[in-house]
Structure 1
Amino acid sequence: MSTTDTDVGGAVALTEVELDPYVTHAATRRWMAEPGLLSDGTLLRFDTLREHGLRRVADLVGEADRIAEELCDQLVIGALRSLDRDLEPIVLDGATGEITSMYVHRNLSPVDFLPLAPSLGALLRFTAATEELADSRGQFASYEGRFGPKAVGEASRALAAVFEEHVGDGRVPPYWRMAALIRPLARIAGPGDGLVLDLPKRLLDEEFGAGGIMRFEDVDFPPALTHEPTRRFLREVGLPEDGFLFQLETEVPLPTLTEYCLDVRSGDFTEDQLPVGAAGLIRLGHLIEDAGLVVDGTTGAVLAWSETDTTLRPLNTDISTLAFTLWLLRREKSLDAEHHLSSAYGQLAATVIQTLAQIDPVACAPTPLSDDDGGWRYWPEIFEDQAGGVLYA
C-alpha cells in the first residue's frame, strides 16, 4: 500500500486514490487529504505515511493469529512519541474513523489496542491542547506565570474538560486521562533564585511527611560545597531521606566522592577509577542500580556516578529539579493508586518523562557528558522499565 504522498507546508497529504479502498470514513478522508497531517510533532508523528504509506496492521505485525480478524485491515498512520523515540503505533479504523494505539508484545501474546480518540479530529485537538498547556499558549495562554498547587488543580481540570468535550460517553482514553492528571504537575513551582525552581514551602513535607525530610546544617557541608544556592536549599528545604529510588546519606557528614570511595569504601575503588574532579563532587546518597548521587560543589549540577562502570553522567540540572523529580514520582504513584494509570504502563512512563523534560531537559536529554557516557540517562531508563515497575502504585 505504498503512496506518493504530497508534502504541503510540513503536512503529509494523501490523494483520494491513495486513501482507497481502506479509508471510507468521510470526515477522516477529508482530514487526510487536506490539510493533511503534520509530519512530526512533540507527542505524535505521521511521517511514517511519507516513509511507508498506509499500512495494514496485519502487514506490520506479520503474525495474523495475534490479531483479531476484524482488526487486520485497520491502518497504521503514525506513532505516539516519547521524547526522541516512538512509543506505540497509531492505528485508524478506516470505516468508523476511531483511533487506537497498538502495543506489540515481544512474546507471542496478542497485540493490545488501547482507545486513543473517537476521531482523527479529536486526536489532533487533544494533542494541541496538551502542547498549548505545556507552553502556556492558545487556550491556556492565561496560565503564563501561574504556579503552585492551585494552578496545578485548575490546569488539570481545564485540560480534562477539553478531552471530555470530545468524548461522547465521557470516558477519556487512558493516555489523555493521565495527561490531564500528570502534565499539569510541571506547574507546581516557579523559577528559583540561583536554582531552576522555587518549590512551594512545605511541598516536600506534605508529600513525604515532615519527619521524612532531612535538612542540613553548615557543619554537614564539606569545604568543597561552595555553591550557595545548593547550600541554602539543603538547609531550608532539604531532601526526603527515602525518595524510593534515592536514599539520602544521613549517617555521616556529607563526604566528597573521593572521601567516600577511598575512605568509607576503602578497598572497593582505586584512585584511578574516580572521575576527574572527584574531590569537588559531594555524595548525597545512592540511587538504585548501584549508582551514587553527587552534586558538583562549584556549579550545583547533580550527577549519577555508576559504581559498576565508574562513569559520571548527568542526572538533574540542580538540587531543585532533583527534588521535583522525587516529588513527581511520589505524586504519580498516588495518582496511580487512585486512577489505575499504570494499566497503560508505556504511555504512563512517556507522560512522566515528558513532564520531567518540560522542567528539566538535562534529566532526559541523551547528550553525552564524556566519551564513556553513551547518552544513557537514569530517569527515562528507570521509568520505562516495566519489569522494574517503579511507576506502579
Structure 2
Amino acid sequence: MSTTDAGPVTITLTEAELDPWVTHASTRHWLTGPGLPGDNGVLSFAELRREGLRTVADSTGGAEDRLAAELREQLVIGGLLGPGGLPTESVLLDGATGEISTTYFLHDRPDLMGRRPLAPSLRTLVRFAEATDELAGLRGQFASYAGRHGLKAVAEASQHLLAVFRDGADGEPAPFWKMAALIRPLSLVAGRGGASGLSLDLPHRLLDQEFGPGKVARFEDVDFPSALTHEPTRRFLCQVGLPEEAFVFSLDTDGPPPTLAEYYADAGTPAALPPHAGRLLRLGHLAEDHSLVVDGATGAVLNWSEPEATLYPLNTDVSTLAFTLWLLHRERAIDAGSSHELTTDAYDQLAMTMLQVLSTVDPTGVTTGHPARHYWTDAFQDGAGGVL
C-alpha cells in the first residue's frame, strides 16, 4: 500500500495486496491506479490505510459461522463520517463484483448484521463523495453558490447534486445519496453572520412561508423583561419571530416571556433553578419536561431539563434555533412528497444527514461533547420518537 505525499493524500494498493480478495478487473485497476482519497468530509479510508484489506469475517473476531453468507467475504475499506468527522457505518467492497455497500458491526450479535447498497463501483463512490464534499465547501462544481442563499439557491443546488447522483447510478442512487441531494443543500437557505448580528440572516418571511400564515408569533419590544439586554435577540424576536408549534417545540403565547425564575414562581412548582435563572427567558417547552430558554445577556439558546435540573446548550442563538425548526419542518415536507421516501429502512442515515446540515450552520451539538447532552442530536437519532 502507498500514499502520495504531494498534494491531497491518495491511497493505492499493489497487485499483490489485492490478491486473492479482489478479482473484479476495473476495481483492481482503480485501487492500483487512481486510488482512494485519504481526506474527504463524507468518507474515511483510514481503516484501509491502517489495516489493509480484510474481510468482515476477519473483523468480527472468529464469529464467521454467525454471519450471513453474503457478508463473510465482503472487504472492509472505510466508513461513512458523521458530524464532527466521527465514523458511523463501515463501508464494504465486494471483491468479485466491485459493488459498494455499508454495514454496522454488531460484534455481540453478528447474526443481525446486514448490508445496504451505497454505490455500484469505487469510481462512482469517489465521484459522489467528492461532489458532496464540494457542496459542503462551496468549491469545485459548487463554487458558484458561495455568497448565495435563499430557497432558489437551495433548489438549484439540490437539483445539481441529484443530477450528479442519477447520472452515476443509472437514475436511481442509493438512499444515502438521495438524502444528501435533498437535505444537505438546505444549509444554503440562510446567510452567515451579517446584518442581524446573529449567526444567520434568514430570508425575509422564510418561517411564514414554511409554517403558514398566522403560525409565526412575533413579540412587541415592550413585552420583554429588562433581563433581555441582548439587542440582536430582541430584534429577531420582534421582526422575524418563531413558529408557535414545531413538532417537539411549542412557543408560549399566553403573554410576555417570563424569566425562568418567574415561570416557576407563577406555577407554584418548586424547582432547583440555576443561579442566573433571573436572566433566562423561557420561550416555550420541548418534549419530555424540557424548557427552551434564552440567556438574556448573551443570546445563547439553552435547554433546561426539569427532571435533571440542568442547563444544556441547545443552539448558538435564536437564528440557529429558527433554522433548526425550519429544517425539521422542511424535512417532513420533503418526506411527505410522493416521489421521496427518505426514512424507508434508512432512518439512521437520515438522522446523520440532518445532523450534518445542522452542524454546518450551528456546531453546538458537535462542540458540547461528552458528557454534555444535546437535545437536537438525541431527538434526531431517536427513531422510535418519530421526530424525522
The answer to whether 1:114 aligns with 2:111 is no
Instruction: Give the distance between the partners of 1:317 and 1:284, measured in 2 at CA.
Output: 15
Give the conservation status (yes or no) of the 8 Å contact 1:100–1:113. Answer: yes
| SS of 2:115 mapped into structure 1 | strand
Q: Does 1:245 align with 2:242?
A: no
Unaligned runs of at least 5 residues, structure 2: none
SS across alignment from 2:253: coil
Does residue 1:315 correspond to 2:341, yes or no? no
**What fraction of aligned residue pairs are identical, expressed as a percent?**
56
1:52 aligns with 51
**Equivalent position SS for 2:285:** strand
Aligned residue number for residue 184 of structure 1: 185
- Partner of 1:211, secondary structure, is coil
CA distance in structure 1 between the aligned counterparts of 2:347 and 2:176, rounded to whole angstroms: 10
Note if 1:233 corresponds to 2:232. no
Q: Residue 195 and residue 11 in structure 1: after superposition, are their counterparts in 2 closer, same or farther (change >3 A)?
A: same
Aligned in 2, Cα 1:216/1:107: closer, same or farther, shift over 3 Å?
farther
Output the CA distance in 1 between the equivalents of 2:139 and 2:212.
Answer: 35
SS of residue matched to 1:21 = coil
Matched positions, count: 377
CA contact (8 A) 1:349 1:384 kept: yes
Alpha-carbon separation, structure 2, partners of 1:376 and 1:318: 17
TM-score (norm. length: structure 2): 0.91
Q: What is aligned with 1:340? A: 341
**1:12, 1:47 within 8 Å by CA — same for their partners in 2?**
no
1:133-152 matched pairs, under 5 angstroms? 133-152=135-154
Any conservation in 1 of the 2:22–2:28 contact (CA below 8 Å)? yes
Aligned partner of 2:377 among 357, 376, 380: 380
Q: How does 1:189-204 map to 2 (within 5 A)?
A: 189-191=190-192, 192-193=194-195, 194-204=197-207
Partner SS for 2:308: coil
Q: What does residue range 217-296 of structure 1 map to in structure 2 within 5 Å?
A: 217-261=220-264, 263-269=265-271, 273-296=272-295
Q: Which runs of 5 or more structure 1 residues have no equivalent in the other structure?
A: none
- 1:379 CA displacement: 1.1
- Aligned partners of 1:155, 1:67: CA distance in 2, in Å? 41
CA separation of 1:67 and 1:337: change in aligned 2, threshold 3 A: farther
Deviations 1:8-38 (A, max 9, x none): 3344433322211111123322333345333
| TM alignment of 1:348-387, pairs within 5 A | 348-362=350-364, 364-367=365-368, 374-387=371-384
The code of the aligned residue for 2:226 comes to P
Give the CA RMSD over aligned residues: 2.1
1:64 deviates by: 4.7
Task: After superposing the two structures, state which structure 1 stretch, 238-247 or 111-120, moved more.
Answer: 111-120
- Taking structure 1 as the reference length, the TM-score comes to 0.90
**Is the Cα–Cα contact under 8 Å of residues 90 and 104 in structure 2 kept in the other structure?**
yes
Asked if the contact 2:40/2:130 (under 8 Å) is kept, the reply is no
CA distance in 1, matches of 2:142, 2:248: 34
Is the Cα–Cα contact under 8 Å of residues 45 and 77 in structure 2 kept in the other structure? yes
After superposition, give the CA deviation of every residue in 1:129-154 in whole Å (9 maximum; x if it has no partner): 11111221111111111111111111
Q: Greater CA deviation, 171-180 or 25-34?
A: 25-34
**1:323 Cα deviation (Å)?**
0.5
Contact 1:91 1:99 in 2 (8 A): yes
Partner of 1:83: 83
Q: Is the 8 A contact 2:134 2:142 kept in 1?
A: yes
8 Å Cα contact 1:196-1:318 kept in structure 2: yes
Check whether the contact 1:366–1:377 (CA below 8 A) recurs between aligned residues: no
C-alpha distance in structure 1 between counterparts of 2:54 and 2:263, whole Å: 56
Q: Secondary structure at the match of 1:250?
A: coil
